[in-house]
């Protein structure tokens, strides 16, 4: 699924998750086996398709929702699902819009969703199945018990991938400090970071579907994902050689949009960064600007960090600079220069001489430098 569609689906699942009034109403309808067709949105495009029915205009409650669903037609809710606007309405979407459904209710739901880009919910009367449609997306809701099981499995996968990313980040730290970084080291980190972020979206889909039942899982995901996207951006800032007009966020989004086959070919990531690797990536030397490591050191204003990168071309020059040379940076001063020099020395010692690395969630934030 494309990233745009994934975000659209996640937003829709969040709106009808367990714990919301609309989900309670859906559960009532399932228990009553009445079936229903619900459009969440009163946009102009939706109202053009409405014919007949009754204008209700009342506040939404699960009980009212259930009672009005007993009528044959569709229900139209406000965009925030806070009001029931129409009941027993007939919908007439463009019949030329292609649909893969067979039942009348589901065919109408799919066509309305495609034509209006609005969230449409179809509840089967006989099969107790809830299907949501939005734009070209179709998603069948599962029982919370099944969703929870899948969420736990996905969370384990996310934790495994994150552990691999942590290892690669530690390796990148060491190789940067030794000035032996290769393009392979860099794109491996960005590839694994993209995989982690894609997996997070899979877990988030289940969490949103679980609603209030997914709070603990969400806390675990938030803990695992601390600084992942931010660190990825800083790696891109360190190594991108494309035009300065191309922002790091655009590069990150491009890499994250790759499908599996494209992502696993590391040369594709290298090209997005602006490289044209004609040799083995493991033999392609690169140098970090120092953005990731320097930005991890506390109490350095953004303006001062920019001045550091103006004076020094790369991380190696910064690491080798004396206190006097660092103090020459505009806005630095000897006190900050001494502090920066000391923090960089400790950071270097930690990663080069400490046998038990414990990198978690950032270049320097979690190591106290």
Q: 30-82 pLDDT, tens per residue?
A: 999 999 999 999 999 999 999 989 999 999 999 999 999 999 899 999 999 99
Over residues 96-117, the pLDDT tens digits come to 999 999 889 999 999 999 999 9
Over residues 129-166, the pLDDT tens digits come to 999 999 999 999 988 889 999 999 999 999 999 999 99
CB atoms within 10 A of CB 81: 20
Rounded to the nearest 10 degrees, how much is the dihedral formed by the CA atoms of 334, 339, 343, 346?
A: 90
Q: Is the pLDDT reported for residue 365 higher than 50?
A: no
The alpha carbons of the chain give a radius of gyration, in whole angstroms, of 27
Q: Select from 243, 146, 265, 90 the least CA-distant residue to 194.
A: 265
For residue 40, the cross-strand partners are: 77, 119
Over residues 167-192, the pLDDT tens digits come to 999 999 999 999 999 999 999 999 99
Confidence of residue 354 (pLDDT cuts 50, 70, 90): low
**Predicted TM-score (pTM) of this structure:** 0.81
φ and ψ of 225, to 5 deg: -95, 5
Residues whose CB is less than 8 angstroms from the CB of residue 123 and which lie 6 or more positions away in sequence, other chains included: 26, 29, 30, 35, 36, 37, 38, 69, 129, 130, 131
Residues whose CB is less than 8 angstroms from the CB of residue 114 and which lie 6 or more positions away in sequence, other chains included: 93, 97, 133, 135, 136
Q: Is the pLDDT reported for residue 242 higher than 90?
A: no
Kindly list the distances between the CA atom of residue 15 and the CA atoms of 46, 120, 140, in Å, as whole numbers in the listed order. 19, 12, 15
Could you give the angle at the alpha carbon of 235 between the alpha carbons of 232 and 238, nearest 5°?
A: 155
Least-confidence region, from 95-104, 223-232, 255-264, 291-300: 291-300
Domains of the chain listed by start with CATH number: 7-141 (3.40.1700.10), 143-288 (1.20.1260.110), 289-369 (1.10.150)
Work out the average pLDDT over 284-311.
Answer: 89
Q: Select from 59, 171, 178, 46 the least CA-distant residue to 118.
A: 46
Q: Is the pLDDT reported for residue 362 higher than 70?
A: no
More confident position, 349 or 233: 233
Kindly list the distances between the CA atom of residue 237 and the CA atoms of 229, 290, 304, 337, in Å, as whole numbers in the listed order. 13, 9, 17, 23
Work out the average pLDDT over 7-34.
Answer: 92
pLDDT of residue 369: 53
pLDDT of residue 347: 86
For residue 58, the cross-strand partners are: 84
Convert 231-261 to b/e letters by CB count within 10 Å (16 or more is b).
bbbbbbbbbbebeeeeebeebbebbbebeee
pLDDT of residue 159: 97
């Amino acid at each position: 699924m494309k990233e745009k569609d994934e975000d659209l689906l996640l937003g829709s699942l969040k709106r009808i998750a367990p714990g919301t009034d609309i989900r309670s109403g859906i559960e009532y309808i399932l228990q009553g086996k009445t079936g229903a067709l619900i459009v969440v949105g009163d946009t102009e495009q939706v109202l053009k398709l409405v014919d007949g029915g009754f204008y209700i205009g009342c506040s939404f409650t699960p009980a009212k929702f259930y009672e009005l669903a007993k009528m044959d037609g569709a229900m139209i809710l406000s965009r925030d699902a806070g009001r029931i606007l129409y009941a027993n309405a007939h919908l007439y979407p463009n019949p030329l819009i292609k649909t893969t459904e067979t039942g009348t209710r589901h065919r109408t739901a799919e066509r309305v969703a495609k034509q209006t880009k609005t969230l449409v919910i179809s509840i089967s009367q006989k099969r107790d199945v809830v299907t949501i449609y939005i734009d070209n997306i179709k998603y069948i809701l599962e029982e919370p018990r099944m969703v929870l099981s899948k969420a736990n499995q996905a969370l384990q996968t996310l934790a495994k991938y994150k552990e691999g990313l942590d290892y690669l980040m530690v390796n990148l730290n060491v190789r940067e400090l030794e000035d032996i970084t290769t393009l392979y080291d860099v794109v491996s980190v960005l590839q694994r970071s993209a995989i982690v972020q894609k997996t997070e979206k899979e877990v988030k889909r289940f969490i949103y579907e679980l609603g209030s039942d997914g709070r603990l899982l969400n806390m675990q995901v938030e803990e695992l994902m601390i600084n992942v996207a931010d660190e990825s951006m800083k790696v891109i800032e360190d190594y991108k050689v494309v035009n300065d007009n191309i922002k790091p966020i655009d590069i990150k989004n491009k890499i994250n949009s790759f499908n599996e086959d494209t992502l696993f070919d590391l040369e594709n990531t290298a090209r997005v960064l602006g490289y044209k690797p004609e040799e083995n990536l493991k033999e392609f030397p690169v140098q970090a600007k120092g953005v990731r490591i320097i930005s991890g050191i506390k109490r350095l204003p953004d303006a001062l960090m920019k001045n550091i990168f103006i004076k020094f071309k790369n991380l190696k020059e910064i690491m080798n600079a004396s206190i006097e040379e660092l103090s020459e940076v505009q806005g630095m001063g000897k006190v900050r220069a001494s502090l920066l020099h000391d923090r960089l020395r400790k950071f270097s010692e930690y990663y080069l001489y400490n046998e038990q690395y414990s990198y978690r969630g950032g270049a320097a934030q979690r190591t106290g430098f």
